[in-house]
Structure 1
Amino acid sequence: MNKHHEIAMVGCTGKKEGTKMNEKLSYTDHRQRIKSRYLKNGLSAFYDYEILEFVLTYAILRKDVKPVAKDLIQRFKTLSGVFDAPVQELVKIRGMGLHSAILIKLIRDCLEHYLRQHLFATDCINSPQALLRYCTASMAHCPNEQFRVIYLTAKNRVIADEILQQGTIDHIAIYPRTLAEQSLRHNAKALIFIHNHPSGDPLPSAQDRDLTRTLRAAIEPLGITVHDHIIIGKNGYYSFREQGDF
């Protein structure tokens, strides 16, 4: 190799290193701008993919994560769809490792935990909207049906919040005897039933109405009041009490 060729090779290598350095500075500056926007205005002016991009900067440290964020939105359609996606689906997105997927699920679970603590902060359910926010966050996007029972004292103080039964995508089996045993074990004086419809439509089926009547008939002779049965779906909720079904 002659001297002239060596100089050319050095110049080429220097150009590549300079390009990489410029790219690093570019996305480092971009991350700082995102942080500054957030500190100034919160998330109100962010697109969904920008929120994800901001989150991913704390899991993927040395890479431009905007393409990953956009791919997540494209695959799961919405920001809530991303946060509700299982870890095993998140890691299928190019650039998403287990560390990043866990961070997204952790944020989702922290939200549910926050809403639960906020709802039960005084050990008393006194806000129907807070109850709906909690139930929607925890149940609306579950792939299978869940039947949850909130056990209350006579003054509506929360004794326990339990998932009584889990089922399939369109069916769940609830046994009145199990409900009665759990209610007596907790010494509950009132109950709220909540279950989800994975289909997204919260309107009750004939089976839902029959189940509600059966459970009330089994529990109310024990001196336990059923305050409501709420069905949660992606598209809203249905309250038996609000609709005059109680």
Structure 2
Amino acid sequence: MKDAPGPPLFPEQNSSQKPEKDVPHYHGHRDRLRQKFVETDGAGLADYEMLELLLCGFIPRKDVKPIAKSLLTRFGSLSAVFAASPKTLQSVDGIGETLSIYLKTVHHLHLRATAQELNGREVLSSWQKVQDYVRVRLQHDEIESFRVLFLDRKNCLISDEELGRGTVDHAPVYPREIAKRVLELSSSSIILVHNHPSGDPTPSRADISMTREIIDVLDSLEVQVHDHLVVGRQGVTSMRAAGLI
């Protein structure tokens, strides 16, 4: 009498497994995407494919290529996708509250990593990193925001703070409030930063006038304004490099 057959060595591969014809088509596609990423270190993937690969981890049982393409169509670029607010992200079909938060988490991880490149460093010798940081933070903001980077005597970053937030074309700025915060932080110098939601980083006459007013107020405290950076989707403009201050 023959022994009864024992249990299969790999239960996940037993006869209850779905026939190949029932396996969703995107399963093999995901494998190919991952392999392509490994083989090219990511360089061989288009923007929508990179986004698609990320979405695979958040949405395990759905074809995410249409969602990835819809996000890029709606926002225009990867940076704009991650900079969008959760509410705006949810306007795209397939993006719910949970997924919108996951996408924003990626943005904030990038922002923190970029900020850490400045921590403990002499900021003026890492000028490109400063511009990269402010661009990641502000280039896609739909509301004008005025920020100040406070530096110590060695020009290392003490704090980055938003001191004004307003409308699509104006953020209230109070030089004496900046001076007050400078004293509270014992800051020796600052860098002013604000964004233009229009996308054009060209400083306006009001920007130049306001910057000079801040410089005059801080001169009495012997605090230097190193620069005023204007951020837009088209780039970052340094007022000092442009000879405006």
TM-score range, shorter chain: 0.7 to 0.9
- 1:6-155 superposed matches below 5 A: 22=21, 24-120=23-119, 122-125=120-123, 126-155=125-154
Question: Aligned pair count?
Answer: 227
1:225 is aligned to 2:239 = no
Deviation, structure 1 residue 222: 0.8
How far apart in 1 are the matches of 2:180 and 2:163? 11
Alpha-carbon displacement from aligned partner over 1:22-57 (angstroms, at most 9, x marks no partner): 353532221111111112212211111111110110
Deviation, structure 1 residue 210: 0.6
How far apart in 2 are the matches of 1:46 and 1:23? 28
**Residues 170 and 23 of structure 1, relative CA distance in 2, 3 Å threshold:** farther
Deviation, structure 1 residue 216: 0.4
Aligned-residue RMSD, C-alpha: 1.5
CA contact (8 A) 1:59 1:99 kept: no
Q: Secondary structure at the match of 2:192?
A: strand
Matched residue type, 2:148: V
Higher helix share: 1
Q: Secondary structure at the match of 1:57?
A: helix
How far apart in 2 are the matches of 1:160 and 1:204? 24
1:187 is aligned to 2:181 = no
Matched residue type, 1:168: T
Q: Structure 2 unaligned segments of length 5 or more: list them.
A: 1-17
Q: Provide the identity percentage.
A: 36
Deviation, structure 1 residue 104: 1.2
CA contact (8 A) 2:189 2:226 kept: yes
Matched residue type, 2:33: I
Give the TM-score of the pair, scaled to structure 2: 0.88
1:174 is aligned to 2:173 = yes
| Structure 1 match to 2:243 | 244
CA contact (8 A) 2:139 2:231 kept: yes
Matched residue type, 2:198: S
CA contact (8 A) 2:118 2:157 kept: no
Q: Secondary structure at the match of 1:96?
A: coil
Give the TM-score of the pair, scaled to structure 1: 0.87
How far apart in 2 are the matches of 1:156 and 1:23? 62
- With 89-98 and 48-57 compared, the bigger mean Cα shift is at 89-98
Matched residue type, 1:214: E
